[in-house]
């Protein structure tokens, strides 16, 4: 499938025709977008669950904010390190390791029996997200040809924009 562009647009310019990527590139794009969705969704869904978390783990109102902050601060602090790790260790290895860390931390947080256990567990989860996000983007940019890369980046940007709108941002 080809997306038609105005005849005045030159190849490689905004508005130029985009060709649909190969099935392999499509699967890579789907996996990377789902991983990015998990990272962003985690911060959003916890905000919705805060009242339930507060009552079931006996959080004080002052300590409840640390459930969100432990993840957000760790994520923001290690995001650039995630890009460097993907360059140094390889995108695929970093992606798989970060996905495993993020998933394991999510599981442990779901099984948390105390407020301290949950707050401490949110740190590794934020680290996993910080490693996962740049690795996913670098996989998209390095595994496809120029036309497929443009398509993949546009799909990822559209995915991020739609998710942001659905969260009221």
Q: Burial letters for 55-72: b for 16+ Cβ neighbours within 10 Å, e otherwise?
A: eebebeeeebebbeebbe
* Number of domains observed in the structure of the chain: 1
**Residue 9 domain-assigned (yes or no):** no
Residues recorded for the chain = 169
**Residue 16 domain-assigned (yes or no):** no
The domain that contains 28 carries what CATH number? 1.20.1250.20
User: For residues 157 and 36, is the Cβ–Cβ distance under 8 A?
Assistant: no
The boundaries of the domain holding residue 30 are 23-161
Q: How far is CA 77 from CA 13, 60, 73, 136, 145, in A?
A: 35, 26, 6, 18, 32
pLDDT at 115: 93
User: For residues 132 and 35, is the Cβ–Cβ distance under 8 A?
Assistant: yes
pTM of the model: 0.76
**Residue 12 domain-assigned (yes or no):** no
pLDDT in tens, the chain (169 residues): 444 444 444 445 555 555 666 788 788 888 888 898 899 888 888 989 999 999 999 998 888 999 999 999 999 999 999 999 999 999 999 999 999 999 999 999 999 999 999 999 999 999 999 999 999 988 888 876 655 656 666 666 665 566 554 444 4
- How far apart, in whole angstroms, are the C-alpha atoms of residue 94 and residue 88? 9
Q: Is 18 in a helix, a strand, or coil?
A: strand
């Amino acid at each position: 499938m080809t997306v038609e562009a105005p005849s005045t647009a030159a190849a490689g310019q905004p508005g130029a025709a985009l060709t649909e990527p190969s099935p392999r590139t499509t699967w890579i794009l789907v996996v990377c977008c789902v991983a990015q969705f998990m990272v962003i969704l985690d911060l959003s869904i916890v905000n919705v669950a805060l009242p339930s978390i507060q009552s079931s783990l006996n959080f004080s109102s002052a300590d409840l904010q640390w459930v969100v902050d432990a993840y957000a601060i760790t994520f923001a602090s290690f995001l650039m390190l995630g890009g460097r790790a993907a360059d140094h260790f390889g995108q695929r290895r970093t992606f798989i390791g970060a996905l495993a860390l993020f998933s394991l931390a999510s599981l442990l947080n779901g099984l948390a029996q105390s407020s301290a256990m949950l707050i401490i567990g949110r740190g590794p989860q934020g680290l996993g997200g910080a490693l996962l996000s740049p690795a996913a983007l670098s996989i998209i940019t390095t595994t496809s040809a120029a036309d497929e890369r443009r398509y993949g980046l546009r799909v990822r940007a559209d995915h991020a924009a739609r998710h942001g709108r659905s969260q009221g941002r």
